[in-house]
Amino acid sequence: MSTEKIVLTPIGFVKTDAVGDEVRDRSRTSKIIVNSEFAEALDGISSYSHLFVLFWLNQIKDDERKTLKVHPRGKTDLPLSGVFAVRTMLRPNPIGLTIVEIVDVHSNVLTIRGLDAYDGTPVLDIKPYDPWDVVENPKVPSWWKRLKKEKRMS
């Protein structure tokens, strides 16, 4: 196995008015401003309804990348879990992954719904979502289902 370091360069960045927890509101729209040199790489994207957005969690400090276990959403009543078993931002390689709905595409600007990333977040990649990405009834831990239920009721 190669041990060489992997170097990435952002292909654009996120533009949003949402601050703090507002970014978690899935009904919100935000924008991805793709660097103009990559505008052509968006050709054909409006034939899809949904995208994967990979982004760099640039607020995570180097020290935090060493975290191995967390309580989901920081809730100490939920079981301490490995970072690969939770969608926490604290991970060895802090890459965010979110599925978003395409609202509009105009030149190098994508307007999307559901991206939980802060203003100025560097975007690493954009990939189309297709029917192979749909899992029927994925199994999740019981704490996940409890958390979703509570959220719906609050």
Residue 29 binds its own copies (CB under 8 A): no
Tokens of 74: 């920081």
Out of 23, 56, 115, 118, name the contact with its own copies by CB under 8 A.
56
As a whole number of angstroms, the distance between CA 40 and CA 13 comes to 16
- Residues 32 and 15 sit within 8 Å (Cβ to Cβ): yes
Instruction: Give one word for 2, left, alpha or beta, with left for phi > 0 and alpha for psi -120 to 50.
Output: beta
Per CB under 8 A, contacts with its own copies among 58-117 are 58, 68-69, 79-87, 91-93, 95, 97, 99
- What the block records as the tokens of 142 is 């019981």
User: Is 8 a residue that touches its own copies (CB under 8 A)?
Assistant: yes
In the complex, the residues that contact its own copies under the rule CB under 8 A are 1-3, 5-11, 13, 34, 38, 40-45, 47-50, 52, 54, 56, 58, 68-69, 79-87, 91-93, 95, 97, 99, 120, 122, 124-136, 138-142, 144, 148
